Structure 1
Amino acid sequence: MIVAAVRRAPVLLWSVVLALLVGWPWLRDGLVLAYDMVWVPRWDLTRPDLWGLGSALPRAVPSDAVAAVVSSLVGSTVAQRVALFGGLLLAATGGARLVPRASTAARLAAATLAVWNPYVAERLAIGQWPMVLAYGALLWLTAELRSGRPRLHVVTLAVVGTALTPASGVMGAVVVLVLLARRGAGRLLLATALVTMANAPWWVASLLGSSLPPDPAGVELFALRGQGLLGHLGAALSLGGIWNGEVVDATRGAFPAVLLVVGVWVVAVVGLVARRGSLGPLGVLAATGLVIACAGWLAPGAMERLVEACGPAALLRDGARFLALAAPLLVVGFGRGIDVALGHARRHGLAAVPIVVGLLLPVAALPGLVSGVGGRLEPVTYPASWDEARTVVAASDVPGDLLVLPFAAYRAPEWNGSRPVLDPAGRFFPRPTVVDDRLLVDGTIVRGEDPRAAQVRVALSSDDPPRALADLGIGLVVLDTTAPEADEARTLVVGLERLGGSDLVVLQVPEVAVDRETALPARVLVGAGWSCFTLLLLVGVGGTVRDVGRAMRSSGTRARADESP
């Protein structure tokens, strides 16, 4: 046990170093807001959309609910730091666990590449913190299932970690099915039940919802994008290629960076060729991830027809997300390649060279990941006007939901450094909130899927918007007067009674006709899904705590034995 602890210590310490190199700005007070990363100081646990009972697709289920529950226990700032640093630490330690029999230098190299790659950088920059956490859990899941005797509680906890979003939940299912395909029908059946239960919160909510058909036009807009000299395929093979070019590191695709990326590939190929083993399942995972990632680029027409015929296939539109499935093979190859190089270098007294290469090559290939992804992820504090508006909303006894104007999905407020972020008002206020779910990508609007948001758009364009909003059950309107489109939005709510607020003005819609209620059967079914998720989470955490307790008792027994005469 002591030997194992000593063997793990360098990996743990290096993982902490990597996480701090990326996230040292997060040690400051405030919340990080960027694109899809929306955290609020106080979450309202009674909001139905938090649990998948809203009218929109449950894209943030169960991640938002997990964030809300943890925030209610330790505060939002601490909870967000646990999520961000936790994702990086899981990725680093999971990468090292993929090469358990390799040298310490090789495991450190695998940990480095597992964190320091475009996938992590781009998903962090676009604010997809649940995807980064799920990516780390996916590496742990892969490593555990490849071990001789997988521990059920570790597999369970890792599967729950991958289930934080619908897309990552699908990836977790793929990993389980591929890696257990040869272990008999019994284990495969058990694994299928495990994956189904872990992902129950979002798939149950999806089945019960009445969302609009997804927009096939999103296939091309969200497709894998080439990055400079790397092109499309090079970007994918290096775990990059996100659709939003604004979050891509400026050095990606430049000649020096491409040379360093090629260096990573060379080391990985050497490791995969020289140390043959049971890499077939990892190859299947990598091929699956690459095919999905490249489908929207290579065959957009076929993908569009698939999305039209099968709505859930819209999960595949942002195909670059599925490159997480290719990460284990690349990480294993890189770690083993450093091991091979180390064996040759030692014969010539040059052991330090492959060690330095393993630790620094991935970092040099992507320098923009350091310091909060090149300063993109800086903590900020919500202005006092937001708390003022929240107090007004909480005190109001007007029935109905809340509408945020201007009706647009993203904001770029000055208090957030003018960085784009999904409108925080959608989560900030203590009552169900309707926000626009359409996306503007390269000048093209991707149609939303929330029927309630579509109804609001029609109401706002009617001859009498206040009356139409009342008929839809909208009781309050929050007008962001600092937004560029505020003047236009103000004309839509002329005559509404002002309840309070300064920068965010709270308005009352008179004579609300509808007070929406979720049907009891839907609440029961969604509750059952959450019960499955919670049960598995408790099983995983309980088993982990038990293992830690055993390890501590064993270490204490050994220490006392060493001290006895």
Structure 2
Amino acid sequence: MSRRRWGKAWPWVMALLVCAPMLAGGYVLSYDMVFVPRLDIARSDVWGLGSATPRAVPSDAVVALANLVVPGWLLQKVVLVGSLVAAGAGAMRMLERFGLGAQVAGTTWYVWNPYVAERLVIGHWPLLVAYAALPWLVVACLQVRAGEGVRWWRWVVPLAATALSPASGVIGAVLALSVCGWRRCGRVVVVAVAVNLPWIVAGLAHAGTGRSDPAGVAAFALRPEAGLGRLGAALSLGGIWNADVVPDSRSLVTATVFCVVLWVVMVVGAAAAWRGGPAREPVRALAPAAVVGLVVALLGAYVPGLLEWVVEFVPGGGLLRDGARYLALLAPLQAILVAAGLTVLAGRLRAGFARWSVLGVAILLPIAVMPDLAWGAGGRLQAVSYPAEWEQAREAIADSDATGDLLVLPFSAFRAPAWNDGRVVLDPAGRYFPRSSVVNDDLVVSGKVVAGEDERARAVASALASEDPAAALRAEGIGLVVVEEDAFGADELDTVRAGLEPVFSGDQLTVYEVPPTRP
């Protein structure tokens, strides 16, 4: 295999090294990553028309449409492998102005970094799709910036790919604006608004309740990693709020040393770009977006009061709560600086063997210091199958004549079912069954409750605590109740069950109809 062909194969090698155990039959269910056999396209919440804040708009709608022709298990594998391959291939394209060794090394850092590892484990797959689209967007927007003729789809398609969720849509728009520059951004701004309209419109429909609990600022603040403090964590593309999804290798001294070496290489690359050369224009174009990403990521940690005011009083301000998401804006710039720095350092070595040895080490070092991204994030991500009872319960719900929405109990957002090997996941029942559902959007972080934004969810919680839960649930428009018998708290629902009519009973699930209100 020639060197160029080997370079093109490298993104596939990395993607398969990460995703191999996820390719087994079944679904990978981890925190917010929930795929089901078929997401019902007729559900109002899929389109952001439910009572909950539309955080999964339009990603749920895209999945529901895709499920018309592609089963959920296959769609998830295509999304996961495809995102990593597309991220690597895009980085290779973005860095092709550099020599092959530096190009591959920069690509490795773009794919194999804490941001990708942490967002993969926490299940933010729309963010990973957007991340994969960023280098392709950079390539096209650099051509727009230079005044070159570029086919419209080369920048429209990656820009649309970033718009699967509100936060990723903002990331794509900021990056496109930064790279195109103020003078040539007109068309791009119009298209950026257009592709983000689904969640913008859905958000405006919830504008009255679009404010968030300010307690979430502290809960979601960027955390120190690798012994480098918060700023060091951000500059190494880490620092996610949930410590449980951070690779164990990030606590080792090797991670600290690697980050210092990485920054030295980037500084060399920045100096080379300052003097001119192939990195100069990309660095100038990407620097504003990187600054925005870094500032937003650090707001909750260093200026919490300001961010608390924003999320409490500005509709949609909660988009900034998990600021570490916006570190994606640093990644293209860092990949270019790594490639530029290695080009300079390798160029000072006269012997070809020495030069390629340095580049080889640079290519493999990110993998060596964070090996627990490999093989399903060190075994954290494994495919499992939904129990047979779930499909039986789905059929019972589909056959029910009861009107109203679905409620899943116990009324909590996350589960750790034994059939998922005890791994924490957002309750899949909210998407699995063919009815719009009301879910509890309160979030417990380190023992503290961050209040949700769904007023109807709060009303349902009050109904469950009332003297006649069945009548109160019917008044709230609930027609069916599913109890997950293996979930924590299921044995405390006797009062609620007393007024309901069972239509399906199993070891793990029980489906009830809420009887109509008697006159």
Quick one: distance in 2 between partners of 1:166 and 1:346?
49
> Deviation per CA, 1:404-460, whole angstroms, max 9, x where unpaired?
000000000000010000000100111111111110001111111112111101111
CA shift at 1:213, angstroms? 2.8
Q: What does residue 191 of structure 1 align with?
A: 188
Quick one: distance in 2 between partners of 1:203 and 1:10?
42
Map 1:35-184 onto structure 2 (within 5 A). Answer: 35-147=31-143, 148=146, 149=148, 150-182=150-182, 184=183
Q: Which letter maps to 2:155?
A: V
Q: Contact 1:56 / 1:211 at 8 angstroms: preserved in 2?
A: no
Q: Contact 2:131 / 2:328 at 8 angstroms: preserved in 1?
A: yes
CA shift at 1:9, angstroms? 3.2
% identity of equivalent residues: 48
Classify 1:490/1:425 alpha carbon distance in 2 versus 1 (closer, same or farther; 3 Å).
farther
Q: Contact 1:230 / 1:253 at 8 angstroms: preserved in 2?
A: no
Quick one: distance in 1 between partners of 2:273 and 2:295?
25
Q: What does residue 277 of structure 2 align with?
A: none
From 429, 448, 453, the equivalent of 1:449 is 453
Q: Number of residue pairs matched?
A: 506
Q: What does residue 237 of structure 2 align with?
A: 239
Unaligned ranges ≥5, structure 2: 275-279
SS where residue 316 of structure 2 aligns?
helix
From 495, 507, 515, the equivalent of 1:510 is 515
Q: What does residue 27 of structure 2 align with?
A: 31
Map 1:218-297 onto structure 2 (within 5 A). Answer: 218-276=216-274, 277-278=280-281, 279-297=283-301
> Deviation per CA, 1:138-187, whole angstroms, max 9, x where unpaired?
222122212343432110001001101100101111112222224x2xx4
Classify 1:228/1:179 alpha carbon distance in 2 versus 1 (closer, same or farther; 3 Å).
closer
Q: Which letter maps to 1:111?
A: T
Quick one: distance in 2 between partners of 1:393 and 1:346?
71
Quick one: distance in 1 between partners of 2:116 and 2:3?
26
Q: Which letter maps to 1:113?
A: W
Quick one: distance in 2 between partners of 1:302 and 1:240?
23
SS where residue 345 of structure 1 aligns?
coil
Q: Which letter maps to 2:240?
A: I
Quick one: distance in 1 between partners of 2:496 and 2:311?
35
Unaligned ranges ≥5, structure 1: 1-5, 514-565
CA shift at 1:483, angstroms? 0.7
Q: What does residue 536 of structure 1 align with?
A: none
From 213, 216, 234, the equivalent of 1:215 is 213
Quick one: distance in 2 between partners of 1:413 and 1:312?
33
Classify 1:485/1:35 alpha carbon distance in 2 versus 1 (closer, same or farther; 3 Å).
same
Mean Cα deviation higher: 293-302 or 209-218: 209-218
Quick one: distance in 1 between partners of 2:75 and 2:517?
37
Map 1:408-487 onto structure 2 (within 5 A). Answer: 408-487=412-491
User: CA RMSD of the aligned region, Å?
Assistant: 1.7
Q: Contact 1:249 / 1:368 at 8 angstroms: preserved in 2?
A: yes
TM-score of the pair, normalised by structure 2: 0.94
CA shift at 1:348, angstroms? 6.3
> Deviation per CA, 1:44-65, whole angstroms, max 9, x where unpaired?
1111111111111111111112
Quick one: distance in 1 between partners of 2:309 and 2:273?
42
Quick one: distance in 1 between partners of 2:333 and 2:210?
38
CA shift at 1:97, angstroms? 2.2
Mean Cα deviation higher: 265-274 or 157-166: 265-274
SS where residue 229 of structure 1 aligns?
coil
SS where residue 55 of structure 1 aligns?
coil
Q: Contact 1:10 / 1:104 at 8 angstroms: preserved in 2?
A: no
> Deviation per CA, 1:53-109, whole angstroms, max 9, x where unpaired?
111111111111212222321211111111101110121122222222111111111
Quick one: distance in 2 between partners of 1:39 and 1:122?
19
